[in-house]
Amino acid sequence: MKLTMKVLQVGVLSIWLSGFIFIALSFYATRKLPSFNDDRISHHLFNHSAPKIAIFSAPAPFTGSVGSRQSLAIRSWLGLSPQITVLLFTQHPSAFAFARDFGSRLMVEPNIDFTFLGTPFFHSMMARTWAFTSDIYVLIDPETILLPDFISTLNYAYKVNRDWLLVASSHNVSHFPFCLSDDGKHWLRKDGKRVRAQEFQEILDQSQQGNLCEGKMLMAWNSGELPLNNGVFPPFLYGKGTHNPWVISEALLCEFRFVFDASLTISSFSLNDSMHLSNQLGRVSHVTDAEKRIWEYVGNSHLGALYGSSFFHEINSSHLAKLMNCYGKYLIVNTTKNTVYPVIHERPCSWKQRIFHSSRLKKTMACVDGTESSNRRLDCSLTDQLKTSAPLDYPFSLESLLSVVADKNKTIVLAVAGYSYRDMLMSWVCRLRLLRVTNFMVCALDHETYQFSIFQGLPVFNDPSAPSNISFNDCHFGTKCFQRVTKVKSRMVLQILKLGYNVLLSDVDVYWFRNPMPLLYSFGPSVLAAQSDEYNTAGPINLPRRLNSGFYFARSDSSTIAAMEKVVKHAVTSGLSEQPSFYDTLCGEGGSNRVGDNRCVEPETNLTIHFLDRNLFPNGAYLDLWLKKNVKGACAKTGCLVLHNNWISGRLKKLERQVLSGLWDYDITTRMCVQSWHRTKLMS
């Protein structure tokens, strides 16, 4: 609708066009936002200090054309202002090498949550931004180039004393003939002369601008006291759709912050590359079936529908107020409400003291009309991505998953878990991630655990022959459920051994202080190294039925495979758990195959069973370590590599003991691993 206005001296603007439409000089009055004469919207006009700006991004490896585009983009950010600091979320070595040339202004943060394929978690990234000290936070695609009006727009937003969220879409540019100067401050033509602003504008005018629903965009917000949304962030995968429109929708609905679109005042673009796949963040682009990584987008859509209230509302990008710059003056325009908000004044004054001249107003409104009509084509539904009926499933077979996860020695760490142990599973995973142990896999005993593990970015597979009706049972030691579940473990270990991979089987209630693999490798072939369940401090540790089948290392060799086949066969006919089958088969009933105080030799396969040193691999009853006031300190004195949380009855008691001891690394409320920056705020 055309907005033609006549200014009344009292400051109330009216228009005649099919009736009276009042143009309010207030922020979003119908959305319960304060007016401009509200104290909370007062402008800090005499605060001349430039705001500190922290830019966050999650780059792909700095290799090839992708690395070149990322390098150019990041240099463009740093060249805009000395007040800018950049933090990159990645664990790839190339990022650390790239960052060395920029000193303290460019940092690499590997300590957030990533999937097993290397995709960062959006909610972990957002949590990390809040732990960083800055005036303004910006989250941006790593290939997006920023031009100087980015700084002027943020400087404007910073002067408004109200919490806000700014979003801006980006252009796709196919031809960009300019290069950045060595100091990153100026764009140069081929002849070495500086590029004029008009030349940039011509390129952007000829390019395609994305929308806020699907295209690349940046988000910026001030370091206020109010959160962006009401509740927690879902464990979205970054760069896999849904999370940006979800944040905008939730921010609009909760009304904690003023949300506006600055796409018209921030010039940003990325260089188009049709050969660039969206999965460059991952580490398995060579796996044909997984190249498109469709499940990551499906998972984000499911999460967007499950969390928050956006799913129940139809929210369009046109609902956002637009920030415009007309003749050097910023205006905030809400086209759905036909309202225009004049902004920064030359000196402190209330809007009632301000008298607009009609000629100037007409020029301004003509600017608004022209910009609005050209921008209307970018309107889109922010909630469409939340509506999906596609099932969430991995495209991996067990064989293909093993090839991705296994380390250079073809070894994997295997955990078997049901849904009632999902939180303990995640604490175990978080601990392994902290130790940089990445070659772990999860065998899900039920569909709920399988889905949960995919959402958490774990390498998981289903066991189709697992017993049913165990998801919500308390499968602790001694129950029928426990007896059935444990037999899954030995069967899966045998299957993986036959595929040519070594297996360290670790129950999720085994806490890892250090990586035990270097020691376990030292035992060589035809040796199965297992934890002893003996609790007496003196005497043999290989006594009858003292082999703990919750922690053992098995190599993929003929002796071990043959012996494990005997264990699995014995367990099928046993009415007990698999643990007695391990001992009776390998060490003989009553310990007839015992050798010394810490070994057995299975005579038919010639497999040696080595019972691990309990000072290094203590069970839950040894030395009463779990009863110590400082469990971690007591274990440090004995030299523990791991500590098993067994010899206790009941899942809840086990969970309580581990949490209270401080041997817990997972935040259940936020679905994130506990990081050092959760406790210590990094000063910029």
Residue range 430-467, pLDDT digits in tens: 999 999 999 999 999 999 999 999 999 999 999 877 66
When pLDDT is cut at 50, 70 and 90, the band that residue 318 belongs to is: confident
pLDDT at 7 over 50: no
Q: Where are the beta strands (DSSP E) in 71-226?
A: 84-89, 106-109, 136-139, 145-146, 164-169, 171-173, 179-180, 187-188, 208-209, 217-222
Q: β-strand 171-173 against 268-271: which pairing, if any?
A: parallel
Residue range 457-501, pLDDT digits in tens: 999 999 877 666 654 455 555 556 656 666 889 999 999 999 999
Residue 121 carries which DSSP code? B
Whole-prediction pTM value?
Answer: 0.85
Lowest-pLDDT range of 211-225, 294-308, 663-677: 211-225
Residue bearing the bigger pLDDT, 375 or 117: 117
Residue 3's pLDDT is: 34
Residue 482's pLDDT is: 58
Residue bearing the bigger pLDDT, 651 or 32: 651
Residue range 330-383, pLDDT digits in tens: 888 876 666 666 554 333 333 333 334 455 666 666 676 665 555 555 567 767
Residue type, 227: P
Residue 111's pLDDT is: 95
Residue 467's pLDDT is: 65
Distance of CA 267 to the CA centre of its chain: 27
Residue 361's pLDDT is: 62
The DSSP annotation for 209-264 comes to EP-TTTS-EEEEEE--SS-SSSSPPP-PBTTSSSHHHHHHHHHHHH-SSEEEE-TT
User: In the chain, pLDDT over 70 holds for what percent of residues?
Assistant: 79
pLDDT at 273 over 70: no
Residue 376's pLDDT is: 55
Average pLDDT over residues 31-53: 45
When pLDDT is cut at 50, 70 and 90, the band that residue 272 belongs to is: confident
pLDDT at 207 over 50: yes
Distance from C-alpha of 83 to C-alpha of 51, rounded to nearest angstrom: 7
Structure tokens at 367: 């600017």
Q: β-strand 106-109 against 84-89: which pairing, if any?
A: parallel
Residue range 379-404, pLDDT digits in tens: 677 677 677 778 899 999 999 999 99
